[in-house]
Amino acid sequence: MIYFFQQALNAVQLGSVYALIALGYTMVYGVLSMINFAHGDFFMVGAFLCFIGAALWHLAFVPVLLLSMGGVTLLGVATERIAYRPLRNAPKVSAIITSLGVGIFLENFTLGLNPYPKYVPPLLPSLGFNAWGVSVSIFQLSTIGISFGLMFALHLIVNKTKAGLAMRAISADRLIVPLMGVPVDKIIALTFALGSGLGGAAGVMYAMAYPVIDPYIGIIVGWKAFISAVIGGIGNIRGAVLGAYILATVEIMTAAFLPSTYRDLITFSLLLTLLIFRPRGLFGKAEIQKV
Amino acid sequence: MKPLLEVRDMTVSYGMIAAVRSVSFEVYSGETVVLLGANGAGKSSILRAVSGLIPGGGTVRFEGEDLAAIPAHERVARGIAHVPEGRHIFGNLSVKENLLLGAWVRRSSLAGDLDRVLALFPRLKERYSQSGGTLSGGEQQMLAVGRALMSRPRLLLLDEPSMGLSPKLVESIFSMLADFHESGMTLLVVEQNAAMALTLASRAYVLEAGEMKLSGTAAELQDNPLVRSAYLGE
Ligand SMILES: Nc1ncnc2c1ncn2[C@@H]1O[C@H](COP(=O)(O)OP(=O)(O)OP(=O)(O)O)[C@@H](O)[C@H]1O
Ligand SMILES: [Mg+2]
């Protein structure tokens, strides 16, 4: 039983990382109906900025987190401005191909600078405590706490601010929103900024949990976060978070109780089964609260 | 007197199709001007080019200012509000949020404006926190008009405000527009319901296949044999 709770804690931790990334996919899809396949690589850049901050500049945890979030925010906004905006009214497939291209560019650019995997030194003291037999580390608590905090902040921005109102309107009927006086380009840029910033934070959390990083970590983690967003109903914020925790729980629990080689097989079978019964994901239809 | 809105040689094309060809007209402050025309004549295209939703050739001047370089969202701040054909209510937002979005360009006294719009449309008050998608067609039309009013426009563009409404609702929409006119608001209205529209209008234009065919005061056009046969069904 203690083993189960230990694994549940791990699932919440991993789910938080997936959730932060999944939010970026779902928010961009919400405003542009476009899947930004470079987003997993934004996350990877966040992990590398964490490496730069921690290993090269010897910064503390909070400055490293801000460095990664800020850097990836700029990356996301610049990508939207340079690569995606000119294609806004082009066929959807053009934007998708472009985002794949941006992703490959980021992987190879990072690879050029870092031909070998990098080790990220610990940013937090390896302290912890024991709660009814379950060992809880400071690091796990911070990952979970900061993720919850960021998600709550996002919730407030989307649901309680004027800009969030505009985001939700754009997700429903983008072409008509200028008639409300809303500068749509700015709101879309803000959406990219928020989604990318969360991806940067996820990069730090990931690099702290799995401290050996290479330029390809964004691919598989990105796919899993993307799948989380699809499970929840892409375009839906609550769905993306829920999907991330479901996916992480299934992954951790299969690895914990079954031969770990089955992990991805079982995870993806579950996903396929779910999509057969709910093709639009958990929140895809019943509720149209996109973005 | 200078017109509030002046359109000169407007053209609108969709790919190879020229939907609006060299159309000129003007709207003076305090006037209600009606654009009549059959389906596909180019009425909506003209309104969209005025509000900046689509690009158009020629010149559009608002209060003497050339709008060529002004994007749609800044035209709202200048005082142009557009109630689009088919309402386009944000179905995922509540009635209140739809109205607040309409007030995006405003900075102050929103509470007073919300009260004013809700007094105009008591039905919206009953549906205040319901999502826009759950409203009936008539309620959505009220919300679309109310949302446009929230920007305190000096020129209100209305694209077929009576479309798909019951005769009784059509009448109440028109009597409301008449009130707006009385209160000094400037309206540019596109309507299929020519008989109703002409009773409301000061002046009217008749559009045919993208070109301006006729213009005159509402009374003149009401007596025009061509208008009587084509639009008044006589
Ligand atoms: N987005 C578009 N793409 C291509 N052609 C279009 C588009 N919108 C309008 N058109 C064409 O332009 C012409 C004018 O259309 P418009 O919608 O302005 O007419 P309308 O007078 O408003 O008609 P209705 O009374 O049916 O609303 C039509 O022939 C229409 O097919
Ligand atoms: Mg039309």
Instruction: Band the pLDDT of A2: cuts 50, 70, 90.
Output: confident
Distance CA A50, CA B75 (A): 44
Per-residue pLDDT of chain B (234 residues; tens, 9 = 90+): 899 999 999 999 999 999 999 999 999 999 999 999 999 999 999 999 999 999 999 999 999 999 999 999 999 999 999 999 999 999 999 999 999 999 999 987 788 889 999 999 999 999 999 999 999 999 999 999 999 999 999 999 999 999 888 888 899 899 999 999 999 999 999 998 888 899 999 999 999 999 999 999 999 998 888 888 887 776
DSSP A122: P
Using the Cβ of B76 and the Cβ atoms of chain A, whether some distance falls under 8 Å is answered with: yes
pLDDT at B164: 84
Q: Which residue of B has its CA nearest to A172?
A: B90
**Cβ–Cβ below 8 Å for B76 and A179:** yes
pLDDT at A285: 53
Among left, alpha and beta (phi > 0; psi -120 to 50; other), residue B83 is: beta
Confidence check: pLDDT of A97 > 50? yes
Residue nearest atom 16 in ligand 1 by C-alpha distance: B42
pLDDT at A68: 98
Do the Cβ atoms of A224 and A165 come closer than 8 Å? Answer: no
pLDDT at B84: 97
pLDDT at B230: 80
Complex ipTM value: 0.93
Distance A46 CA to ligand 2 centre (A): 49
Model's pTM, two decimal places? Answer: 0.92
User: B148 to chain A, minimum CA–CA distance in Å?
Assistant: 8
Query: Which of B14, B34, B206 to probe ligand 1 with, by most ligand atoms within 8 A of CB?
Result: B14
- Measured between beta carbons, the chain B residues lying within 8 angstroms of A166 are 101, 104
Using the Cβ of B88 and the Cβ atoms of chain A, whether some distance falls under 8 Å is answered with: yes
Do the Cβ atoms of A253 and A11 come closer than 8 Å? Answer: yes
Using the Cβ of A284 and the Cβ atoms of chain B, whether some distance falls under 8 Å is answered with: no
Using the Cβ of B140 and the Cβ atoms of chain A, whether some distance falls under 8 Å is answered with: no
pLDDT at A129: 86
pLDDT at B225: 86
Cα A290 → chain centroid: 17
Within 13 Å of residue A235, how many CA atoms lie on the same side as its CB? 22
Atom of ligand 1 at shortest range from CA of B38: 25
Using the Cβ of B92 and the Cβ atoms of chain A, whether some distance falls under 8 Å is answered with: yes
Residue nearest atom 25 in ligand 1 by C-alpha distance: B39
Total number of residues shown for chain A: 291
Domains annotated for chain A, with CATH where assigned, are 10-117+134-277 (1.10.3470)
Confidence check: pLDDT of A208 > 90? yes
- Measured between beta carbons, the chain B residues lying within 8 angstroms of A170 are none
